[in-house]
Amino acid sequence: MSPLNLLAAAVDRIKVPSRDEALAARYAAVRRYTRELAAPLSSEDAAAQSMADASPAKWHLAHTSWFFETFVLKPYRTDYREFHPRFEYLFNSYYRGIGELHPRDQRGLLTRPSVHEVMAYRAHVDKAVLEVLLRDALPPAAVDLLELGLHHEQQHQELLLTDIKHLFSMNPLLPEYRPQPLMAAEAPPLRWRLYSGGIAGIGHAGRGFAFDNEGPRHEALLQPYALASRVVTNGEYAEFIREGGYRDPRLWLSEGWAMVQARRWQHPLYWNHALDAEFTLHGLHAIDPQRPVCHISFFEADAYARWAGARLPTEFEWEHAAGEARIFGQFADQADAELHPRIFTELSSEPMYGSVWCWTASPYLAYPGYRPAAGAVGEYNGKFMSNQWVLRGGSCASSRSHLRPTYRNFFPADARWQFSGLRLAKELHHGT
Amino acid sequence: MSPLNLLAAAVDRIKVPSRDEALAARYAAVRRYTRELAAPLSSEDAAAQSMADASPAKWHLAHTSWFFETFVLKPYRTDYREFHPRFEYLFNSYYRGIGELHPRDQRGLLTRPSVHEVMAYRAHVDKAVLEVLLRDALPPAAVDLLELGLHHEQQHQELLLTDIKHLFSMNPLLPEYRPQPLMAAEAPPLRWRLYSGGIAGIGHAGRGFAFDNEGPRHEALLQPYALASRVVTNGEYAEFIREGGYRDPRLWLSEGWAMVQARRWQHPLYWNHALDAEFTLHGLHAIDPQRPVCHISFFEADAYARWAGARLPTEFEWEHAAGEARIFGQFADQADAELHPRIFTELSSEPMYGSVWCWTASPYLAYPGYRPAAGAVGEYNGKFMSNQWVLRGGSCASSRSHLRPTYRNFFPADARWQFSGLRLAKELHHGT
Amino acid sequence: MSPLNLLAAAVDRIKVPSRDEALAARYAAVRRYTRELAAPLSSEDAAAQSMADASPAKWHLAHTSWFFETFVLKPYRTDYREFHPRFEYLFNSYYRGIGELHPRDQRGLLTRPSVHEVMAYRAHVDKAVLEVLLRDALPPAAVDLLELGLHHEQQHQELLLTDIKHLFSMNPLLPEYRPQPLMAAEAPPLRWRLYSGGIAGIGHAGRGFAFDNEGPRHEALLQPYALASRVVTNGEYAEFIREGGYRDPRLWLSEGWAMVQARRWQHPLYWNHALDAEFTLHGLHAIDPQRPVCHISFFEADAYARWAGARLPTEFEWEHAAGEARIFGQFADQADAELHPRIFTELSSEPMYGSVWCWTASPYLAYPGYRPAAGAVGEYNGKFMSNQWVLRGGSCASSRSHLRPTYRNFFPADARWQFSGLRLAKELHHGT
Amino acid sequence: MSPLNLLAAAVDRIKVPSRDEALAARYAAVRRYTRELAAPLSSEDAAAQSMADASPAKWHLAHTSWFFETFVLKPYRTDYREFHPRFEYLFNSYYRGIGELHPRDQRGLLTRPSVHEVMAYRAHVDKAVLEVLLRDALPPAAVDLLELGLHHEQQHQELLLTDIKHLFSMNPLLPEYRPQPLMAAEAPPLRWRLYSGGIAGIGHAGRGFAFDNEGPRHEALLQPYALASRVVTNGEYAEFIREGGYRDPRLWLSEGWAMVQARRWQHPLYWNHALDAEFTLHGLHAIDPQRPVCHISFFEADAYARWAGARLPTEFEWEHAAGEARIFGQFADQADAELHPRIFTELSSEPMYGSVWCWTASPYLAYPGYRPAAGAVGEYNGKFMSNQWVLRGGSCASSRSHLRPTYRNFFPADARWQFSGLRLAKELHHGT
């Protein structure tokens, strides 16, 4: 019986879960979901790396375990025996405080350890974590790190999907991650929601989990603004293309135009040249004009907004608009989830979350008074605060339970392999 | 008699200058100063390009004339005859609205036109501008563009100096741009000036000239903060080096650390390996620990601040602190100016301006409601608003008359060949 | 029962094999040996590509089948049904006469087809080839192409080994392809064999199989020369290193010295920095000074020879010396073969073949009157006749049955991942 | 009075020149010719470097003087005082035996020393050389090096022209090095000259000057062959283009085809896209179909020959055909020379020399028994014997006095900026 099934049996037997029992249940659920995401992959699929920005699924499986081993088990469980002496080196992503690390662009060469050994590594770590959790033996600092590890793993769940999509898109056989028909969907007309601005509270206030970069909570001054009721669709974006959007330098940031030229961008990442089909995790599908445009860079989002006579919202405008609204939308952990964005509506209500991450006009920066966590885990977020842009709202590849109004995702301006789209914003002038 | 001297004579004869006469006088002064800056250069010096980021002095001389020809003379003086039909192409820097342009990294191959032809081009443009100015024949829009052209030329005056410095630094003979002994200077002790924050007015309000990126004026909310009374010195920076600043990844942004590794940075750009001499526009000089550290990238400024337990100020903090203070400091257009930064003091007063541009913690972004100017000149500033950082305050290579409290300079995070240093800032917590 | 086993049974039942039965038996043996070489590999090992010059084992398995399908089955067996419509594209190595081809440096991204599908592809091709062979239905031209395909496959058998060695060497876990102790071996003293030169017959005369680049047979004029009785050893090469061979530009071709600087070469490819251990297909082993030096570039072989007061032999000198001598030495298809070179001796006889390929002083060129084969298969050899150098003699990773005195291997001057070493030569002056 | 004029006067006064007087006269003539070649250049033209393969004219002027200073004056004239202590470093091309050297690709940044200082350097060296020559004070070894220096300077004279041509071609103003109309010229019909082959003497026999790489003289065995009576014309090459020569991979070496793709080659280097005009040292001219094709790479020459059903000659075939024939043709040091190749004929006689260097099928290799000269000057030729191809015959930019039947020029296979064309060859079969 696997440790996770043992746990499930244990959990069934108990009545009112303690704090650590609840955490253990969530640990088990998150860890199991990662395995489920990897299930459709052959061991070859799981080992390949299609570009330096992406990682093999096997590496995601191992690195997420490394995180618990490195930050929870080794420091807080004195009887812990590491699974393999070289894994500290092999599966360290970027924590230089831990030590030397394997070069990022060579992850696809790690044909050993095998997927099976990595799965054994996961089971070894799971057993050690669940044992210590179920005997309530972790100090609060360790519990916080365990919590961090779960959110870390949820981030890698999404990356596992985006990285596999990129890998499969490079294969002329166009493999399907999950064969599945796509439902028809209709996009409601775009409406503008108006916000009067003023002083807004921004950032996480400290109740419940948040990454360090979501705090401290602080005040920000907003001008009046308008925000679109939904994200931009393929149909709208196709018009931008037809009207010469990719040929007019005046629509682009200088750096973006240089990219368009150098990389010969003419459409979103996974569209074909005929502009009538796109590669998805469910195989090649006709481009549906009613679905959200996706897999565009910050530069493309910015150019589209300029062409549309609008702009990208700042991350503060987005967070202010999201406010206390309920978190609903299209997510990966829903039943029968499509792993391809669609416009999600619920009665007359349109969500701020899910479907596609929205590029904002905000570079990824520290909030006033930001302090990274102490120790090597402090490298988690802070050291990337240059030349990246904030995305907000989550995507069809995110878990619902992973998101918060204050959640800040970030990628370089030329990144296209994430589920990234845009929602328009506008200035509101007095009298408008 | 050259057109500029004719003008000087004309100006002498008049009593109360009209608006355009005053502008003509300033035009003449700015244009003459550019020529003076180029005077120490041989025609070979003036033609070479040491890297893609830098331009030959000859190109600066021509491009600044091109600016007046393109944006003032051709649109607003119907009888204007262009100097040479290919110069529109050759000396266009980056205005794609004007048309095709010569590749930036090939400017050093333009051995023709010669410096002498470029000087004739300057005289041709000067004559045409002054004629039209002195007969009061320019509409207000053209006057604004002429004004813009003068500030544009002042920017290129500074670039001419930084680009020559870079070129000469690559020459094993270490040529001196201007042989000159350097005065001894003593840096006062660093003190912290405290600011209570709150809502501050930021940006240019519209009286007098400003670049479009300095507006619109708007309100920003500042937390309480402290700002150093002076910039960081060579002596302070040398301690950062001695204590392993360039060897400890934890002090650096991830991208900065990658630069340190890839480019083998171990000290500011023009320091020698022994850390005891630096190349200046006045030749090789011993490093003076009392002078400001200079020619560092944003990444180095940021790492130094972290090592010092401080941070870089935001551009709003800087502007708020500069406030209405008098603009004084070390500038290039002073009598007997040193073209190498020193700590400037005046009685007990320490300046916010001059000596070295200060890297800020602010990415270069549009202010709320920013609209670039119409037409090709709208490419001046707006299209660079990605992956660059704001610098404030001017340097020993800037003209005093070029600066304002709202002035925003900007460069990529790895740029080192500008006169760039830093001033520290700190959070101020309640009760501090 | 697999087609190969069916064949084995069929072969057992027959008495005197026809020409095609003999060919079928050899076909079966060569194809089976490829599978045996891949047997120690996991499917992950078989799918990875460690550099653009190397290919995944899976690709070798598929491409060798593609060769028979493309050049024998499709043209000569009208009832042949191709295994998969995209394999023509996916597994074409470089035959532009066939059509478009998959980019070489992306072979490691082909996680699909799986190894299992590729094995099914092999079986499909084997069945079709053996059927047509056993019913004696191939015209002579097709038989020649089948023969070519077998030698082609033997080349890829060696590449499969060198490519896996390179892949495993990149893995910090240093996997062993085949765990095996290495026998001690003693190198005999180097003696010089003298040859008087004169007009020598060079190239293949037409009896039996040869690649097109081995002909036409022609005469060449040789000066008197001496050739070493054995290849250079690790011990000899280590002395070259100790005496500063990698630090003295005067020993190197200009291009070679640039490589030494740019790639920081300080020893043969798989040696460690301490110069005491080397990575082999049998894991990490102490460097045995008695074994041949291996995995050096042409530039290193050339520099070593210069340092030793000798030179590399021309390929004609080598072929003349090999003459009609028996082909014996260390090969991959021997019982208990070591896949790591050792000095092979047999009584007092020292071989010209096996252990390590010997770099020659001869660029890879066409022999006088050379004509490539007609059609796309003419791209096999001829189009690589620039900037490559000839190697002679085979290695410990070659099959004995693959070699001939006229056999010409060729690689670029900087290639190091093949089993490449050297044998010294010298001028012989009259009276020496 | 300049040292060269002093010499001219001195030479006028003497009756029968001694060996050294004759050498002095030739020294003066060669050195003066270099200055004449530089005369049309502005100091800006003389300082620029258009690519790493090319050098500024100023650098050629200095380096040729450095050669005499380094190899003749410093070793053999004890009272010699060097002109400048850093010139040994600055103007060393590639002699690592002399010491460190200035990076090749930064020669265009040496705006100092000025052209005028370099001319003073030349005069300083000239004076020292002529003084020692005229007092007969040089030992034979030094005289040999002086002779070498003169041939070295003649090589740089040709490079000065090809490098200026490349520089000017990059300038949109298309400057003319020497304004001059081009004469009409008619190409005679191509005829085949037949040679029966056999053992031929190849290489320099030791009478008079030759570079070390032209010896030792040795025998080579040639097959019967045919050689075209003249080089290939623009008209013939244009047909190759029209018939798709640049679009058919089967005509190209694999490496050549990769170049065609990567660099988008579609015609010879200086042709325009419309294929009707080409840039020359005499400005832009219509492409004359009767003139020799020029500025093509080895790969293009090889592909053209294959398309034409022929091949390139080996350098031995060329040398054997040139035999003892008189050296005549189109050269740079003729009266009214055109610096653009034309088909040269003299009565019914067609030359082997001049107009364009002919690519051969021979990689640049050592002749049997080759020994480079002792000391640093031994780096002159030998260390480039990899990945270069031999060209034979001289060009319209060569001096007549610089050439010999045994002369071997060499460049990498992708070099196009030299005056390089081709002459076809063919196998001759028995009975043909």
Quickly list H helices, A252-326: 254-263, 298-307, 315-322
Q: Which chain D residues are closer than 8 Å to B58 by Cβ? A: 44
Q: Do C48 and A108 touch (CB under 8 A)?
A: yes
Q: Taking CB atoms and an 8 Å limit, are C109 and A173 in contact across chains?
A: no
Contact D361 C365 (CB under 8 A): yes
Residues B387, A383: C-beta atoms closer than 8 Å: no
CA distance linking residue C395 with residue C402, whole number of Å: 11
Q: What is the pLDDT along chain B (432 residues), one digit of tens a residue?
A: 576 777 667 666 655 567 778 999 999 999 999 999 999 999 999 999 999 999 999 999 999 999 999 999 999 999 999 999 999 999 999 999 999 999 999 999 999 999 999 999 999 999 999 999 988 889 999 999 999 999 999 999 999 999 999 999 999 999 999 999 998 878 999 999 999 999 999 999 978 999 999 999 999 999 999 999 999 999 999 999 999 999 999 999 999 999 999 999 999 999 999 999 999 999 999 999 999 999 999 999 999 999 999 999 999 999 999 987 899 999 999 988 999 999 988 877 899 999 999 999 999 999 999 999 888 899 999 999 999 999 999 999 999 999 999 999 999 999 999 999 999 999 987 544
Neighbours of D (≥3 Cβ pairs closer than 8 A)? B, C
- Contact criterion met (CB < 8 Å) for A173 and C45: no
Instruction: Give the contacts of C199 (CB within 8 A, at least 6 positions apart).
Output: C219, C220, C221, C222, D221
CB within 8 Å: A250 and B427:
no
Higher-confidence residue of B74 and C17: namely B74
Q: Give the Cα-Cα-Cα angle B332, B337, B338 (nearest 5 degrees).
A: 100
| CB–CB contacts below 8 A, B to D | 81
Q: Which of B41, B44, B166 to mutate to test the interface with D (most CBs of D within 10 A)?
A: B44
Shortest alpha-carbon distance between residue A108 and chain C (Å):
7
CA angle A164, A168, A171 (to 5 degrees): 155
- Reduce the DSSP state of residue D430 to 3 states and report it: coil
Radius of gyration in angstroms for the set of CA atoms belonging to chain D, rounded to a whole number: 22
Task: Provide, as residue numbers in chain C, all residues whose Cβ is less than 8 Å from the Cβ of A109.
Answer: 48, 50, 167, 170-171
Please tell me the distance in Å from D48's CA to the nearest CA on chain B: 6
What pLDDT sits at residue C1? 57
Q: Name the interface residues of B facing A (CB cutoff 8 Å).
A: 94, 96-97, 199, 218-221, 223, 249-250, 252-257, 298-299, 361, 363, 365-366, 368-369, 379, 383-387, 413, 427, 429
Q: Is the pLDDT of residue C33 over 70?
A: yes
The Cα A213–Cα D8 span in angstroms is: 82
Region C310-331 average pLDDT: 95
Burial class (CB in 10 A: 0-12, 13-18, 19+), A353: buried
Chains B and C touch (3+ CB pairs under 8 A): no
Residues in chain A where the model's pLDDT stays below 70:
1, 3, 7-8, 10-17, 430-432
Q: In chain A, what residues touch C115 (CB-CB under 8 Å)? A: 44
> Does the beta-carbon distance from A90 to C47 stay under 8 Å?
no
Q: Which chains touch B (3 or more CB pairs under 8 A)?
A: A, D
| Cα of D310 vs its chain's centroid, Å | 26
Q: Quote the pTM value.
A: 0.95
Nearest to D111 among B113, B115, B171 (CB): B171
- DSSP per-residue letters across C278-344: EEETTEEEE--TTSBP-S--HHHHHHHHHHTT-BPPPHHHHHHHHTT----S--TTSTT--SS----
B44 to chain D, closest Cα gap in Å: 5
Both tokens assigned to B149: 């052209």
Closest Cβ opposite residue C44 in set A43, A106, A167: A43
Q: Quick check: C43 and A45 CB within 8 A?
A: no
Tell me which residue has tokens 């010139």.
D87
Percent of chain D with pLDDT over 70: 96
Q: What is the structure's pLDDT at B432?
A: 40
Using a CB-CB cut-off of 8 Å, the residues of chain B touching A218 are 223
By Cβ distance, the residue of C94, C413, C427 closest to D387 is C413
Residue from C41, C42, C43, C44 whose CB has the most chain A CBs within 10 Å, to mutate: C44
Q: Å from D6 to nearest chain C CA?
A: 41
C-beta of residue A385 within 8 angstroms of C-beta of residue A364: yes
Tokens at residue D246, please? 């640049």
Which residues of D touch chain B, with CB atoms under 8 Å apart? 42-48, 50, 58, 86, 89-90, 102, 106, 108-115, 167, 170-173, 175
Q: Which of A3-17, B57-71, C161-175, C283-297 has the lowest mean pLDDT?
A: A3-17
Structural contact between residues A359 and A298, judged by C-beta atoms closer than 8 angstroms: yes
Q: Do chains D and A touch (3 or more CB pairs under 8 A)?
A: no
Q: What is the pLDDT along chain D (432 residues), one digit of tens a residue?
A: 576 777 667 666 655 567 788 999 999 999 999 999 999 999 999 999 999 999 999 999 999 999 999 999 999 999 999 999 999 999 999 999 999 999 999 999 999 999 999 999 999 999 999 999 988 889 999 999 999 999 999 999 999 999 999 999 999 999 999 999 998 878 999 999 999 999 999 999 978 999 999 999 999 999 999 999 999 999 999 999 999 999 999 999 999 999 999 999 999 999 999 999 999 999 999 999 999 999 999 999 999 999 999 999 999 999 999 987 899 999 999 988 999 999 988 877 899 999 999 999 999 999 999 999 888 899 999 999 999 999 999 999 999 999 999 999 999 999 999 999 999 999 987 544
Nearest of A315, A381, A377 to residue A72 by alpha carbon: A377
List the single residue in C with minimal CA-CA distance to A58: C44
| Contact present, A108 and A47 (Cβ < 8 Å) | yes
- The Cα-based distances of A39 to A36, A61, A127, A322, C118 in angstroms read 5, 11, 21, 35, 22
DSSP B390: E
Chain D neighbors of C223, CB-CB under 8 A:
218, 368-369
* Shortest Cα distance, chain C CAs vs residue A184, angstroms: 30
Q: Hey, are the CB atoms on D365 and C363 less than 8 Å from each other?
A: yes
- Interchain CB distance below 8 Å, C167 and A102: no
User: Which residues of A have a CB under 8 Å from any CB of B?
Assistant: 94, 96-97, 199, 218-221, 223, 249-250, 252-257, 298-299, 361, 363, 365-366, 368-369, 379, 383-387, 413, 427, 429
Q: Which chains touch C (3 or more CB pairs under 8 A)?
A: A, D
What whole-number distance in Å separates Cα of residue C169 and Cα of residue C163?
10
Question: For residue C220, what is the enclosing H or E element?
Answer: strand C218-222
Q: Which of A44, A90, A106 faces C111 most closely, judged by CB atoms?
A: A44
CA distance A417 to A166: 7
Mean pLDDT of C67-85: 96
**Would you call C167 and A109 a contact, using CB atoms and an 8 Å cutoff?**
yes
pLDDT at A432: 40
State the nearest Cα–Cα gap between A356 and chain C, in angstroms.
27
A-chain residues near C113 (CB < 8 A): 173
Mutant choice from B100, B221, B362 vs A, greatest count of A C-beta within 10 A: B221
Contact across the interface for D47 and B111, Cβ inside 8 Å = yes
Q: Do D43 and B42 touch (CB under 8 A)?
A: yes
Asked if B44 lies within 8 A of D44 by C-beta distance, the reply is yes
Its CATH class, for the domain covering C192-427, is alpha beta
Mean pLDDT lowest among A204-208, C47-51, C288-292: A204-208
Q: Is the dihedral of CA B250, B252, B257, B263 positive or negative?
A: negative
C near D: at least 3 beta-carbon pairs less than 8 Å apart: yes
pLDDT exceeds cutoff 70 at C26: yes
Closest Cβ–Cβ partner in C96, C369, C386 for D250: C96
Tokens at residue B249, please? 């990844």
Which tens digits make up the pLDDT trace of B178-221?
999 998 878 999 999 999 999 999 999 978 999 999 999 999 99
Of D254, D256, D429, the CB nearest to C94: D254
Contacts of A113 in chain C (CB under 8 A): 173
